[in-house]
Amino acid sequence: MHQPAPALSEHIESRRLASLHAYCILDTPTEPVFDDISRIASTVCQTPIAVVNLIDADRQWFKAEVGLGVRQASMDASICTHVFLEHDYLEIPDTTQDPRFACNPLVVGEPGYRFYAGALLKTPDGLPIGTVCVLDTRPRRLTPEQADTLRALARQVMAQLELRRLLAEAHAVSAQRARVLASAGHDLQIPLRAAFYAIHRARAGAREEQIARLDHAEQELNAIQQKFGELIASATGRGGFVPPSLDVADVAPMLDQVAASWQRAATRKAVTLTARHEQSPCLACTHAGLLETLLGNLVSNAVKYTPSGGRVDLVCRYEHGLACIDVIDTGVGMDPARVDRYFEAFQQGDAQSEGLGLGLWIVRQTAEALAADLDVASSPGEGTRITVRLPPG
């Protein structure tokens, strides 16, 4: 009579099933990385059958297999569950000579397995979830090198599963962080706009020394708005960006708002900053807060790298039915061969400035979030034109 493997304690069985299910691997399609492991096991051990086998509550499910032709089997005649009791590795040179398997239906009937070797798949806390195993229809033994290879392949399977679990956890944490920051960024826009409006109203009738203080306050608010936008984009642009809700909007007033916010910074450098509407309204499908962050970074960068006497122009227009925004400057320009590098995090141009270069990287991340295209035309000493093409409204 067939002898099933002794059952694990209810507590251990519950924990190991929870660990197995946490990997989210059951019932997934075949994958080359696991198929390769089963093929290597079959080739190295010189067996017609090799399996990456995961033991569920009431079934054996095969993530990869060679020589079986099925993806799962019942637990009734499982040999692999006996490996759970060996804590590492089990080899059965001749199943007909082992009382545990001599009456096993898979041994005495079809397909007539006579040899089995399996290396345990163990979680980092030692819980068994399956095996990498090889089978043959004739008695045999593995060499020590073959047995070591089988153990190594089992470790590789667990390394893959652990890596995927950790990446999924990191993605979930990052997505939650993105949602919190996106919500905070939206909420922050209201008091910031109110503060800008209050400064604008306070200028009316203000004395010269008061205007200087108001200018300083506006400069600080601009810095807060830009850095908070960079924080949000930096945090959400890697590993879990939550796409914003895009709505049809007129982008022309946004150009005016951005130009007004950076006007004093441009004036201090003796740079002419203008906003021009070739079409108004200029409708696009966008997110106002993110688009203003993107344009603010472009204008900030343009003013920073444009020498005194130069100019920065914001232009909204239509091109082939799409709303386009051009940010054009007469600044130092960029080497066309290095343009992509300037859009990487922590890269800067050649002008002297403080801080890390996140601005253009934020532009690229934000453009992706807005489903917008960026086109850069630049030449050293002649200036730069950056075009933002927005989805149609």
346: left (phi over 0), alpha (psi -120 to 50) or beta: left
**Is residue 284 exposed (0-12), middle (13-18) or buried (19+ Cβ within 10 Å)?**
buried
Domain borders along the chain are 10-169, 243-393
Residue type, 39: R
| pLDDT, position 119 | 95
pLDDT at 25: 94
Task: Give a three-class secondary structure readout of 187-256.
Answer: HHHHHHHHHHHHHHHHHCCCCHHHHHHHHHHHHHHHHHHHHHHHHHHHHHCCCCCCCCCCEEEECHHHHH
Cα dihedral 249, 295, 255, 350, rounded to 10, equals -160
Which residue, 369, 351, 349, 368, is CA-closest to 359? 349
Query: Would you write out the chain's pLDDT as a tens digit for each of its 393 residues?
Result: 455 555 677 888 899 999 999 999 999 999 999 999 999 999 999 999 999 999 998 898 999 999 988 998 887 778 888 887 777 899 999 988 888 877 777 776 788 889 999 999 999 999 999 999 999 999 999 999 999 999 999 999 999 999 988 888 877 776 666 666 666 666 666 677 778 778 878 888 788 878 888 887 877 777 676 666 655 665 555 444 445 678 899 999 999 989 988 998 899 899 999 999 998 889 999 988 888 888 988 998 899 999 999 999 999 999 988 999 999 999 998 888 877 777 664 444 544 433 334 557 778 878 888 889 999 999 999 999 999 999 886
Token readout for 124 is 């980092």
CB–CB of 325/255 below 8 Å? yes
Return the pLDDT at 31: 93
The whole-number pLDDT of residue 123 equals 94
pLDDT at position 172: 75
Query: Measured between alpha carbons, how far is 329 from 351 in angstroms, rounded to an integer?
Result: 15
Q: Do 337 and 376 contact (CB within 8 A), yes or no?
A: no
pLDDT given at position 146 = 96
pLDDT value for 359: 57
What are residue 222's DSSP bridge partners?
A: none
What topology does CATH give the domain 243-393? Heat Shock Protein 90 (3.30.565)
CATH number of 10-169: 3.30.450.40
Decide: 119 and 132 in contact? Cβ < 8 Å: yes
pTM: 0.51
**Within 13 A of 94's CA, how many CA atoms are on the CB side?**
3
Do 168 and 24 touch, CB atoms closer than 8 A?
yes
